[in-house]
Each structure stands twice: as structure tokens, then as C-alpha cells.
Amino acid sequence: MARFIFITGGVVSSLGKGLASAALGALLQARGYTVRLRKLDPYLNVDPGTMSPFEHGEVFVTDDGAETDLDLGHYERFTGVAARATDSISSGRVYSTVLEKERRGDYLGKTIQVIPHVTNEIKDFIRIGEDEVDFMLCEIGGTVGDIEGLPFFEAIRQFSQDKPRGQCIFMHLTLLPWIAASGELKTKPTQHSVKELRSIGIAPDVLVCRSERPIPQKEREKLALFCNVRPDSVIAAMDLKSIYEAPLAYHREGLDQAVLDAFQISPAPKPDLQVWEDVADRIHNPEGEVRVAIVGKYTQLEDAYKSIAEALTHGGMANRVKVRVDWVDAELFEREDAAPHLEGFHAILVPGGFGERGTEGKIKAAEFARTHKIPYLGICLGMQMAVIEAARNVAGLSNAGSQEFDHEAGKDRFEPVIFHLKEWIKDNQKIARDVLDDKGGTMRLGAYNATLTDGSKVADVYGRTAIEERHRHRYEVDIKYRDKLEKEGLCFSGMSPDGRLPEIVEWSDHPWFIGVQFHPELKSKPFAPHPLFADFVRAAVDTSRLV
Ligand code: GLN
């Protein structure tokens, strides 16, 4: 049966709780344990699927088709454990399940209350798959004291009482502000945060303190005394140059040891940190630099493309180069020529996105990459825009467009090379969707197989012809246009196994121009860079050598 580690936060948000959880997961793995990480989010959205990327950053999609919090991406990148739908829950999901049960009469006429009905629902969620791993790490979103978070804190408190002693521990992340005037790290906010936690019945076993500077012994002892933890369990988390240093940095600070001590696991198995040493070496000692432009819509908020930025870093690590990313607003090219903005980049990436805004600019970026022979990776919408560009500018379909845009007015005016898919096959079953379905949950979501054409560039990149990648989209390239486009050199080199849905396109006479309908970035890891990103960066390195 799993041991449970509950990770909470206090003082301020954005302290890197997700990263600390992910790094701890990696360290436990390095000691030979199996782990699973979970996120419990207090917000009322049922899932982040319908939230704007500006609100919540990227939506991370799991193999089994759940739209989840971007922290699950960190978990996967650090542990390599594929996240599942059952690794992410929100208050919205909890309440909607409780209310459904109430309507069905499952509670036999009882009064439905936060305690025990909502807390029971949360506890049932935490328990899912508890026999499968050695450690289950559950991160609670937000900070202690948030009104929305209370049922979650209450649930984990109860949970630790339901379990035998010693099976659950609590790790609390706080901030030690540095006051320059007095030259001191202040412990008071942490003391208050722990007090708040203890007032709801949770005593932390491990304190992780974000601070700009090392914590002097005196402050460490003070924190231990006032927060009722052992001095060895006060762990400093200092700013790092790269998130991928976190496992080694936390290990040096004694985080994994403190956690194992809290569980009274002795002697603790020795860690093997070679993978992370290699990762850190590749990050710190690049042998060159390439410049990549990401032409997108949500460029003000980098978290909107979190996994893409990380996958590019991994691609850089595979080639031992630093990847310098510039975020370019696609809308710029709707007013101005793309060339001055894109010259000088060694590769161009057009990411996924929704809605019409910025799409004409993305089409211009695809055209620039095609005609200037710059490596281009189009992801989801970035692939669709590359296909529209090819149809308009090469195949002579000047009205080519997507049914996603200007749906009404354009119906009979344009050639819908990108069409709204309403029926498809998953696991031998037909799935049908109506255009008028709710916004949430109407997409082709999660892992689907694709078959690659023997001898194509992608087959070469992957080193095989059967792949499985994660999807999140409503629209598809219409196979009706395949012959016309292939005749011009845009090969449909990856198809769904039934041959109906184009998954990958590539220009045969271009050094590196690939569009994929799926999201390869979601499966890339620092210790196992995704082949498409590794080869895309390799192609960028080649371009950089030409100039
Ligand atoms: N908006 C497009 C679609 O729904 C692309 C989605 C995406 O890029 N994730 O098909």
C-alpha cells in the first residue's frame, strides 16, 4: 500500500510547489521507489479545458484524454510516469459528482454537506490506485487559508487519520522574504502560515522554504522551534538557473532524506542520480546556441506554451546546444511583412491554438519558412495553417480556409481544407459529436495511433512507422485535398490507422518542414527528448552553420 505525501503551500502562490513535488517524485524514483503524482485544485471549473491560456497557462492532455493542470506536465517531465485522468481533480469536478449523486438519490435522502460528503469524494479520489505505487504525492493547489481550498485541507487531514500512523506525511512550502534594509531572512510569514495549517489540524513534517539566500543555522533553528519540525526537515529552496537542477539541488538540501526520515524508513536506499547529473551537465555546458521563433497568439504568457518551451530545451539538450526562444506575436504579420521579424532565426515553430485571431499571421510564418527553407515545426493549428498555406500558395486553391473561422459567412465562399470532424474511431468504437455540443469535451482528445509512410522524413526521425501521440483539437485536414497537395510535394506522411485522418504532413523538397496534428511536446522529457524536437533542433543547428 502506498505511503502518501501531501504537499501544501503558504504565504504566497507561485512558489514552485509543482516543481518541488515533481523533483521529490524524481528523487524517490532515484532511490528505487515507484511514484505517482496528483494535483487537487480548489477552483470551481470542472477541468482547465475551457479556461483561457491567459488564465491558467497550458492545458496538459493525458493519454486517456483528460484536460488537466499544467503541473501534471512537470510531474511527467520529471518522473516519466504518464499522467492519467485520475491524477487531477478540481472543486468543480468534486461538487458536480456530489450533485449528480444527490440527484440520482445515492445519498438516500440525507442532508448533503461539505463534511462528510464533499470530503469523502476527495478522499475516494486520493485513494484511486493506492496499491499500485510505493509513494503517492498529492499537491493541493492554492495556499493555506484560501476559502475554496478548505475542503481539500480537511479531506487530507481526515485521510491521514483514516490511515495507520506513519503512512501519511505533510510537506509545506513557504517563502522566507529577504529584507535588504536589515539584511535578514524573515521567518514570521512562514510561522503564520504553519499556524494557519495547524489550526485546521495539519502539522507539517517537512518545511520547504523558498529563499533568495541560504538559510543561516540560526533561522533554521528558529523555524524548527516555532513551526514544530526538526531542523533537518527545514529545506531551503533557492532560485535555480534551470528547473532541471531541482532534483539535485533538493537532494543536496536533504529533501528526500527528510521525507524518508519522516516515514521512519531506515536505512534509506541509496539514490542513483546519474540521469539528473547528465541532464544538469547538458544544460550547463552547451556547445552552441540556436535561435527559434515561436509564432503564436498567447506570447505574453509563456506558461501558455509551457510544454513546447520545455520540449525545445530537451531538443537542445539532445544536441548539446542552448535553444534561445523568441516569442513572436502572429498578429504582427497581418499588418507587416513577416521577413524582417523572422530573418535571423534558425527555425520557426507555430504552436497550437484556437480561434481565428492571428491565424493569417501564422500562415505567413509557414510561407516564410517554406520559401526560405528554414526548419518549420507546425503543431496542431500550426500544421493546419501550413496546409492552408500550401493549398493557397502552391496548389492554387486561393480560397483555402478552415471551418473553424468565419463559419457562417464563409460556408460557400472558401475551400474548407480544414474541416470540423464530427465522427471518428477510437479503440474500435465510433465517436460522434454534434457542432452544438458544449464547448467542454467535444474534441478529439488523448492518445491516438498513427502510421507513418516508410521512407518519409518523419519515419526516419522516429525510427519507426507506428507511433502514438496525444491530441486536442476539433478540426482536421480534409483528405479530399490529399492528391492535389501531394502532387505539389506536400506529403501526407502520417495517417490515422484507418487512413482517414491526416496526422503528419511534410514538404519533400524542404530541409525540414513538418506539421503534426498532435502535440509531441506533451511527451518530451529532459532525459528522453522527443525525437521530433531533437531533430528539429538538429536541423536548426544545421541552419545556424549555413549563416
Ligand atoms: N483550433 C484547432 C482545432 O480545434 C487546433 C487546436 C490546437 O491547436 N490544439 O482543430
Measuring CA to CA, which residue among 163, 135, 98, 126 is closest to residue 2? 135
Range 127-156 average pLDDT = 95
Cell digits of residue 69? 493542470
pLDDT band at 51 (very low <50, low <70, confident <90, very high): confident
Of 380, 389, 503, 506, catalytic: 380
Question: How do strand 444-452 and strand 466-473 relate by DSSP bridges?
Answer: antiparallel
**What cell numbers appear for 326 in the block?**
523568441
Q: Whose CA is nearest to atom 3 of ligand 1?
A: 473
Q: 3-class DSSP state for residue 47?
A: coil
Q: How many residues does the chain have?
A: 547
Q: Sorting pLDDT into bands at 50, 70 and 90, what band is 46?
A: confident
Of all protein residues, whose CA lies closest to atom 8 belonging to ligand 1? 352
Residue 280's identity, in one-letter code, is A
Residue 358 φ/ψ region, left for φ over 0, alpha for ψ in the -120 to 50 degree band, beta for the rest: left
Residue nearest to atom 9 of ligand 1 (CA): 352
Distance from residue 345's CA to the centre of ligand 1 (Å)? 25
- Mean pLDDT along residues 35-40: 97
Measured CA to CA, the distance from residue 140 to residue 162 in angstroms comes to 19
Instruction: Respond yes or no: is residue 117 known to be catalytic.
Output: no
Q: Give the residue-averaged pLDDT of 475-486.
A: 94
Residues 6+ away with beta carbon under 8 Å from 92? 43, 44, 45, 46, 47
Asked if residue 404 has its Cβ within 6 Å of ligand 1, the reply is: yes
Pocket of ligand 1 contains residue 244 by CB under 6 Å: no
Q: Report yes or no: 149 and 142 within 8 Å, Cβ to Cβ.
A: yes
Average of per-residue pLDDT values in the chain: 92
Task: Yes or no: say if 396 and 380 are a contact pair by the CB < 8 Å rule.
Answer: no
Asked whether residue 146 carries a pLDDT value surpassing 50, the answer given is yes
Answer yes or no: 521 catalytic: yes
Task: Please say if the pLDDT value at position 234 is more than 70.
Answer: yes
State the residue for C-alpha cell 498529492. 138
CA of 34 to the centre of ligand 1 (A): 35
Q: Is the dihedral of CA 442, 445, 449, 454 positive or negative?
A: positive
Q: How far apart are CA 86 and CA 227, in angstroms?
A: 33
Helices 274-284 and 246-253 pack at an angle, to 10 degrees, of 120
pLDDT digits (tens, 9 = 90+) for 304-322: 889 999 999 999 999 999 9
Count of other CB atoms within 10 angstroms of residue 100: 10
Cis peptide upstream of residue 53 (ω within 30 degrees of 0)? no
The yes-or-no verdict on residue 99 having pLDDT over 50 is yes
The region that residue 264 occupies, defined by phi over 0 for left and psi between -120 and 50 for alpha, beta otherwise, is left
- Three-state SS sequence of 78-113: HHCCCCCHHHEEEHHHHHHHHHHHHHHCCCCCCCCC
Span 494-522, average pLDDT = 96
Pocket lining: 473 vs ligand 1, CB cutoff 6 Å: yes
Atom of ligand 1 nearest to the CA of 380: 8
Supply 531's cell numbers: 525525437
**Which residue in this structure is represented by grid cell 521567518?**
187
Residue 205: what are its φ and ψ, rounded to 5°?
-95, -30
DSSP letters for 359-422: HHHHHHHHHHHHHTT--EEEETHHHHHHHHHHHHHTSS-TTEEETTSSHHHHTTTSEEEEEE--
Q: What is the pLDDT of residues 333-388, one digit of tens each?
A: 888 888 999 999 999 999 998 888 889 999 999 999 999 999 999 999 999 999 99
Whether residue 80 has pLDDT greater than 90: yes
- The b-or-e profile of 169-184 (16+ CB within 10 A means b, else e) is bbbbbbbbbeeeeeee
DSSP conformation letters of 486-512: HHTTEEEEEE-TTS-SEEEEEETTSSS
Stretch among 139-153, 185-199, 392-406 having the lowest mean pLDDT: 392-406
Instruction: Output the CA 490–ligand 1 centroid distance in Å.
Output: 20
304 alpha carbon to ligand 1 midpoint, in Å? 14
- pLDDT tens profile 392-446: 999 999 889 888 886 445 556 778 888 887 777 777 777 776 655 545 457 889 9
347-362: per-residue pLDDT in tens?
999 999 888 888 999 9
| Residues 511 and 546 sit within 8 Å (Cβ to Cβ) | no
Lowest mean pLDDT, pick from 28-32, 188-192, 236-240, 439-443:
439-443
Say what the pLDDT of residue 96 is.
95
**Tell me, what amino acid is at 71?**
D
Please give the number of the atom of ligand 1 that sits closest to the Cα of 472: 9
Rounded to the nearest angstrom, the gap between the alpha carbon of residue 369 and the centroid of all alpha carbons in its chain is 27
* Rg (alpha carbons) of the chain, rounded to whole number: 25
Backbone CA torsion sign across 478, 484, 490, 493:
positive
